[in-house]
Chain A
Amino acid sequence: MLINRRTALKQVLVVSAGLAFLPSCVRKTTPASISLKNIAVDGEGENMLALLADTLIPTTSTPGAKDVKAHLFALTMVDDCFNKEDQQKWAAGMKAFAELSEKKNGKSFEKSTPEARIALLEQLEKSKAEEGGAAYFYHATKHLIIRGYTNSEFYLTKVQVYELVPGRFHGSVPVKPVSRRTA
């Protein structure tokens, strides 16, 4: 009996170890391309953020948010500059965002059509961050992606040129009319 029990226990251990190992083998999770200290976002999550960045600020004849890696800036900011509470809200919101896509489009955000993705974001545009969940995630992430984009080398050299050495200050210059540019 004693031996049998021991054998049985061993088998249980082997089986549970296998079970614990199994899902990750099946799902083939890859880590995010940047090292994160405080939040758990894997490669799949990163891809979703890249797609969100690309949907928000798409590549046209000029680079979009994904091209300048604004989604990685957003990820870094959440990981390093959000407090614990906001990190938790953001992580929960990211999950809620993925679920919202399934609910609304019947598909994950990644597998949705570009039109369906836009529609989802336009729906969230009408929400307020204070509502929490997907709305919080969307507004916080949009804000960070815009910040990453407008702080990028492309934007600050080609769109709104940042001068490291302006060498001048004029207190009163005429406002020149500018015609609207197309991105």
Chain B
Amino acid sequence: MANINTSAQDRTFDAIVIGSGISGGWAAKEFTEKGLKTLVLERGRDVKHLKDYPTTNKYPWEFPHGGQIPEAIKEEAPVVSRCYAFKEDAMHFFVKDKEHPYEQDKPFDWIRGYQVGGKSLLWARQTQRWSDYDFEGPARDGFAVDWPIRYADIAPWYSYVEKFVGISGNKDGIDNLPDGEFLPPIELTAVEQYFQKFVKDNYKDRHVIYGRCAHLTEPQKIHIEQGRVQCQKRNLCQRGCPFGGYFSSNSSTLPWAEKTGNLTLRPHSVVHSVIYDEKKGKATGVRVVDAKTKEMTEYYARVIFVNASAINSNLILLNSTSSRFPNGLGNDSGVLGKYFAFHNYRATIYADHDGHMDVTTDGRRPTSAYIPRFRNVKKQETDFLRGYAAGFDTGRRKWNSQDGVGKSLKDNLFNEEMGNWYVGSHMMGETIPKEISQLTLDKDKKDEWGMPVIHVNMGYDDNDEKMIKDFHEQMTEMYTKAGFTNIRTGDSKQAPGLDIHEMGGARMGKDPKTSVLNKWNQLHDVNNVFVTDGACMTSTSTQNPSLTYMALTARAVDYAVSQMKKGEI
């Protein structure tokens, strides 16, 4: 045993955080800042800011395949190869299918980043707040269960994390997409500004806004203290940013936690289960399988935060069985692993624009425009539930003619041609969590680390199909009226999961009989275990969820620490 010389005392902390991604990083920062000795367990390797971004300063010609993924890797890893960010410059930050098998009872593309920082290195950095129109959705429309919180509960925590993260945005004054603490926005293009004005003039409740994003457009003191500087608009974020221009656990929360002297980060640590002590009626620690040696070690703490990413947090809880909790930790309700959901990203719509030919764009931009949800916001108005937000992006077409042979071809390659504008939008649809949408553990199959293989069983439903149709219809109407031409609707038919917004399974709720977590993200049945990543989501709404995970995490740590001080935990 490698740990024979480490006493249980050496393996005891005030808090354990499982996972170092976007929410785990926040838990680490908050606990360590509050003076708690905190152990962060990460199943993958360490990735240190600046030091472990091997491709970050590479020029295009330094990639042997021009950025493309070789066929041998695609064949071995068809799932991750479908992800838009899985390219030659960032493939080292993604899990290849074979390394970590899972069972797709229905097609599900599970995109994973197993390293310190997790997917916070790779995220699309869109940060839109939820409003009460989102939190009240399940109660109003009669699905899932009522959220145990409202906007007022989370609003101060949104502000709290936004100031630290650094969010670029405009105060748009839209009641279903509340304003936040914003750094200056980056410009919209001429055509986006045109469409923004067109939509404002022609639709009462529809808006085109600048997509709020986690980029330092004007760093404040708090960001400089983190060692981060202004976003340089490289748009190479997935490589890890040498400027810390966008937010990640690696560039921000983890080094911040480290500076307190209270952080112990243990990479290569696969959490097997949470240890439950029947006499104490509490969790006392976690069992960790060393990813390299496969040895199991126990670590102990007064409070445990589960931030392993939505599916893996469910897996750990389901695998934490005891005679008190034979079906998974805190699963008296029987809903753990159920009511799993995602975002419907299947629909797109592209068009041309022949106006604004006298102007173009200059430089690069790490975000785009955004269309907040306008369907069924204040009342039910369509034959499907809920609605969709949309990304909106435009640019001038530029290319080099590839015609000719010899000198004429070479001349063509030396002269860039400019065409009209392209216009594109993609749907981000809310999906309805259902009991049949489930995560379950395989009874026999185990992975290399002795963890049961997880089954994902989730698909599109009629509501999703109707929503795609409506997106195409509404956007076609808006595009047509705005004068865009050559309108092309698309349906990628992509499997759930490729949206990389999987949520639920350990949902929050008021009633312990129908939910796993209470309003503080605390297990109803085990008061020193909290889940604050995607697994906690009661419903999905349409916003990119990371900002909400971060706010819920900071809020839950604050609560947990106050309870610890009172001796409740």
A interface residue numbers (CB < 8 A to B):
55-58, 60, 64, 73, 76-77, 80-83, 118, 121-122, 125, 142-143, 146-153, 155-156, 159-160, 162, 164-175, 178, 180-183
Contacts and interface: CB of A to CB of B under 8 A. Distances in A.
Interface of B: 57, 59-61, 64-66, 68-72, 186-190, 192-193, 232-234, 236, 356-365, 400, 402, 404-407, 409-411, 413-416, 418
Contacts of B365: 169
A83 B414 contact: no
Contacts of B406: 55-58, 118, 121
A118 B410 CA distance: 14
A159 B71 contact: no
A169 B416 CA distance: 20
Nearest to B187: A171
Contacts of A168: 233, 362-363
A83 B71 contact: yes
A177 to B, nearest CB: 11
B405 A122 contact: yes
A152 B61 CA distance: 5
A64 B236 CA distance: 29
23 contacts: A73-B66, A121-B406, A142-B402, A143-B402, A152-B61, A156-B61, A159-B414, A164-B234, A165-B234, A167-B363, A168-B363, A169-B187, A169-B361, A169-B364, A170-B187, A170-B361, A171-B189, A172-B187, A173-B360, A174-B359, A182-B411, A183-B407, A183-B414
A108 to B, nearest CB: 19
B235 to A, nearest CB: 8
A116 to B, nearest CB: 13
A119 to B, nearest CB: 9
A122 B189 CA distance: 41
A150 B188 CA distance: 29
Nearest to A165: B232
A150 to B, nearest CB: 6
A57 B410 contact: yes
A60 B233 contact: no
A169 B369 CA distance: 14
Contacts of B360: 172-175
Contacts of A81: 65, 68-71
A154 to B, nearest CB: 9
A125 B405 contact: yes
A147 B363 contact: no
A117 B211 CA distance: 53
A149 B187 CA distance: 33
A72 to B, nearest CB: 10
A80 B75 CA distance: 12
Given A168-B363, A169-B362, A175-B359, A56 B71 contact: no
A169 B363 contact: yes
Contact of B402 (A55, A146, A164): A146
Contact of A56 (B188, B233, B409): B409
A77 B402 CA distance: 19
B70 A55 contact: no
B190 A171 contact: yes
Nearest to A54: B406
Contacts of A83: 71
B232 to A, nearest CB: 5
Given A81-B65, A143-B402, A159-B414, A169 B357 contact: no
A58 B407 contact: yes
Contact of B413 (A55, A146, A164, A165): A146
A77 B359 contact: no
A77 to B, nearest CB: 6
Contacts of A171: 187-190, 192-193, 361
Nearest to B400: A150
Contact of A156 (B59, B363, B410, B418): B59
A76 B64 contact: yes
A121 B414 CA distance: 20
A60 to B, nearest CB: 7
Given A60-B410, A169-B186, A156 B60 contact: yes
B190 A60 contact: no
Nearest to B75: A83
A89 B363 CA distance: 40
Given A76-B65, A170-B187, 20 more contacts: A56-B409, A81-B69, A81-B70, A118-B406, A125-B405, A142-B402, A149-B413, A151-B60, A159-B413, A160-B416, A162-B60, A164-B234, A166-B233, A169-B364, A171-B188, A171-B192, A174-B360, A175-B418, A181-B415, A183-B411
